Amino acid sequence: MIFEYFTFTLLLFFMAFFLDIFYQYFRYKVIQPRKMLTVQKGGLFEHYIIVGIILAGVALLHIGFELNPFDGSNWLSIVLQSVSTFVVTLLFTLFLSVFLIYIGLYIYAAYKKIENPGPYVQTKAQVVLKIAFITAIIISLALVIFGLVAGNNGV
């Protein structure tokens, strides 16, 4: 049980870290350098209060109502599994979408024989990130919904 809570805590820290990066970028249009292993602004453990509150709430539900958040047989475990699957899938598909779109733009620039493709591709950065984010949300929602439906039907 301790290992499950430890991995859940690490997952919450990484989810908060990457979601904060994307929030900062979409809000201020700038990515700032990050110090990974600190509790200071921009660090992996910056959101320790939020993670602690979520972890305490889950632990209290586990202790008080005997809802095991890791066995998959109650509403708490289904909600936690769905949210964590959605966020992890969102982050993965977002990185993959950005990578593939940038490769496509560089191939297009080579096809059109643009001499310096770097500035050409950088002018499209905002559009690339918006398209990648929309694509990632759609794919992540579809996978989570499919997982919930398949899980309820025993597939």
**What are the DSSP calls for 67-122, one per residue?**
--TTSSSSHHHHHHHHHHHHHHHHHHHHHHHHHHHHHHHHHHHHHTT-S-HHHHHH
Tokens of residue 64, six digits:
């008080």
pTM value is 0.79
pLDDT at residue 54, as a whole number: 95
pLDDT at residue 120, as a whole number: 85
pLDDT at residue 41, as a whole number: 80
Tokens of residue 1, six digits:
């049980």
pLDDT at residue 7, as a whole number: 93
pLDDT at residue 17, as a whole number: 86
* Averages of pLDDT over each 10 residues, the chain, 155 residues: 92 88 81 75 85 95 92 88 89 91 90 87 86 92 85 58
pLDDT at residue 152, as a whole number: 64
